[in-house]
Amino acid sequence: MALAARPVVQTHLCVTARERPHGLLRRASTPPDPLADPALEALLALAQRASTDVPLWLTGGEPCLRADLPTLVARLREAGFRVGLVSDGQSLSRPGALEALREAGLERLRLALHSSRADAHDWLVGKPGACRAVLRTARRGLEAGFTVELAATLTRPTAPHLAEWVQLVARLGAHGAHLTRWTIPTPGHSDAILLSPRLALLEDTLEAAAAAAVAFKLPLTMWELPHCAAPRLRSLHGRRELLLPADAAFAGFAGPEHSRSLCGACSTHPDCPGAPSDYLERFGAAEFMSEQPRERAGGVATAVPPDSAAPVVADSELAEPVPPPAPRAGRSPATRVRFGREQAARSTLQGDPIGGVPPGPVPAVVRLGWGSAGRAACPSCGDAGQPGRSARDNRRLLVLAAQQGSRALRIASADAFSHPEARSLLPDATQLSFERVEVAGEAGALAGWRDDELAKLKRFQRVRAALYGPDARAHDQHMGCEGAFDATLQGLARLGQKARVEVGCYGVLHDHADVSGYAEAWQAGRLPGAPAFRLSAAGGSLRELANAAAALPEGPARAALAAVLPACLLPRTEAVAGAEAAGSAIGRLPAVLAGVVAPAVAEAGEAPSGSDPLGEFLPCRCGPELAARCPGRAVGWELDA
């Protein structure tokens, strides 16, 4: 199939926001008031931004709902534009309608015909007989000398029949064919699953349509589709320059935003729009993540080609128990049909559905949070600004994390216990394949859990609570909630009794002021577990903190603080002792996989929660001798005052 490179750029002038009152493909549930149509003079002024070297297409809404459409066409023609009309063709099937527009100077028609099957088209537009009306308009337009093109919106029910649709368009004698991705109006749109085809499954049907277009010598253009939907058809993609009136009625007409950072193999192609936000919000980013180039040591690793002389599998081997799938190890789940064909060409996958794709490093421990703000008044400790994730998305992340092959899971966030679904999410996390599961975060909400709910956490190996002060006054003030300190300790005590799990706490430090208070509280037995500290991302001077550590008597509290301080600020013996406590790094769920559920994670990364027990460290200025024993410099802290 030979396709010539012919980039298509068109200018569209949106002349009305009004649509037909029925149909599944409509943008809005309630049509705008006819009086809200932009004034003719305003449209003429807006059109001056366009070039007269290419046709100017009038679009909407449905432009034919404007009573002054012939006048608008005539005025644009006088201004030197070659005018085309994008329409559903219903109004134009009436006698005299085409003639009036032809007389006004209209040259081109692009009519919506969404399927070669009349019942499917009529169902999509919500009007019996609509397909016959469009075909009648197309034939009359061709007879009247118009350049007639037909356009289809891609939908899940009609996508398998695209080649048939191209053949109908060609036999009709049309001058061109257009395929446009349907934009999902809202993430919760009731018909999104029914109507929107999955982009990863379109490649075969798009290529069949392109092959039919080549056979009939019919120009075919595709709009609003990321190039990875059909990589070999890049030359068929078009780009619109949309001229929109400033009226509020046109707010949603600009189309969705697109993300290029999620794209893989074609991320550098200048004409690819990228991953559309409406699609990402409804279906996630898995189909784009599977196309990511996989960076490995030594360069970009590509999939190993199918074996040409694979070993024959003996019948005796087939009777053996099937091993569990190999860990994904940072690899995206396969979503493309072409990858399935490659895998089918192999004689055996050896238990790995993504066999041939080089695995990445697998952290021993993977860390997750629930993705919403906690209850702490402090913006840093409470993860202020987190958009929130549903229980469904958090369960998807848990499953993705379990598939990577990490041995342990640590759930650590400000909302670890206060998330609306924490009482069900936390027990669910222990049902996965991890050998060890821990949870840490602000834990005052535990005081409101029933005994049976606490008992369901019995499979956790450790539960730790974040404390923002060594006593009730300091902690409650930081939380902005009186009684939070007592609620946290009472909840931990009940949890230890009902679930019989190891419980403890850690102090979140913003400066050195509370160091001695924490040490004294642990020494007196008022705080459960062994001493531990987290350095807040909104911190102060590490040197002052090291001085506070040096002022403590030797013991667990001093060692715990040394574990999170740069080795260059500590006596050598303490740096050695502290290194073991801080040496267990926490791996993040690879962004390429986290983005399957939360695309923003893949684009910007996800920093540790402000209530995570370990936090995040940057490389320190320690010399080679100390570097191996240094946790680094805590993010948000300075080495000097």
User: Average pLDDT over the chain, rounded to whole?
Assistant: 84
Closest by CA position to 105, among listed 146, 61, 64, 59: 146
* pLDDT at 626 (0 to 100): 65
Query: Each residue of 382-430: pLDDT tens digit?
Result: 988 888 888 988 998 898 888 888 889 999 999 999 999 999 999 999 9
User: Does residue 134 register a pLDDT over 60?
Assistant: yes
* pLDDT at 1 (0 to 100): 54
- Residue 116 has which token pair? 């070669």
User: Does residue 298 register a pLDDT over 80?
Assistant: no
User: Which one of 337-346, 384-393, 442-451, 617-626 scores highest in mean pLDDT?
Assistant: 442-451
Q: Which long-range contacts (CB under 8 A, 24 or more apart) does 90-93 make?
A: 90/20, 90/64, 90/127, 90/130, 90/133, 90/134, 91/62, 91/64, 91/65, 92/64, 92/137, 92/140, 92/141, 93/133, 93/134, 93/136, 93/137, 93/140
Instruction: Characterise 49 by phi-psi region: left (phi > 0), alpha (psi -120 to 50), beta (else).
Output: alpha
pTM: 0.71
DSSP readout, 283-321?
H-SHHHHTTS-EEETTEEE-PPPPPSSPPPPPHHHHTSP
User: Does residue 432 register a pLDDT over 70?
Assistant: yes
pLDDT band at 595 (very low <50, low <70, confident <90, very high): very low
| Per CATH, domain 365-634 is 3.20.20 | yes
Amino acid at site 555: G
* pLDDT at 525 (0 to 100): 94
pLDDT band at 133 (very low <50, low <70, confident <90, very high): very high
pLDDT band at 460 (very low <50, low <70, confident <90, very high): very high
Query: Each residue of 467-526: pLDDT tens digit?
Result: 999 999 999 999 999 999 999 999 999 999 999 999 999 999 999 999 999 999 999 999
Amino acid at site 483: G
Do residues 400 and 596 make contact, with C-beta atoms less than 8 angstroms apart? yes
Q: Which long-range contacts (CB under 8 A, 24 or more apart) does 401-404 make?
A: 401/366, 401/368, 401/432, 401/589, 402/432, 402/433, 402/434, 403/325, 403/327, 403/328, 404/327, 404/328, 404/329, 404/330, 404/362, 404/366, 404/589, 404/590, 404/593
* pLDDT at 581 (0 to 100): 36
| Residue extent(s) of CATH 3.20.20.70 domains in the chain | 13-252
Q: Residues 586-613: what's their mean pLDDT?
A: 52
| Per CATH, domain 13-252 is 3.50.50.60 | no
Closest by CA position to 92, among listed 59, 135, 127, 121: 135
* pLDDT at 639 (0 to 100): 81
User: Does residue 265 register a pLDDT over 60?
Assistant: no
User: Does residue 154 register a pLDDT over 80?
Assistant: yes
State percent of the chain over pLDDT 90.
Answer: 55
- The DSSP letter of residue 420 is T
Q: Residues 137-159: what's their mean pLDDT?
A: 96
Do residues 176 and 223 make contact, with C-beta atoms less than 8 angstroms apart? no
**Distance from first CA to last CA of the chain, Å, rounded?**
68
b or e along 308-317 (b: 16 or more beta carbons within 10 Å of the residue's beta carbon)?
Answer: eeeeeeeeee
b or e along 566-595 (b: 16 or more beta carbons within 10 Å of the residue's beta carbon)?
Answer: bbbbbeeebbebbbebbeeebbbbbbbbbb
| Angle (nearest 5°) at CA 29 between 26 and 31 | 85
* Cα–Cα dist 637/535, whole Å: 8
Query: Each residue of 176-208: pLDDT tens digit?
Result: 999 999 999 887 788 999 999 999 999 999 999
- Residue 474 has which token pair? 């300091």
CA atoms within a 13 Å half-sphere pointing along the CA-CB vector of 27? 17
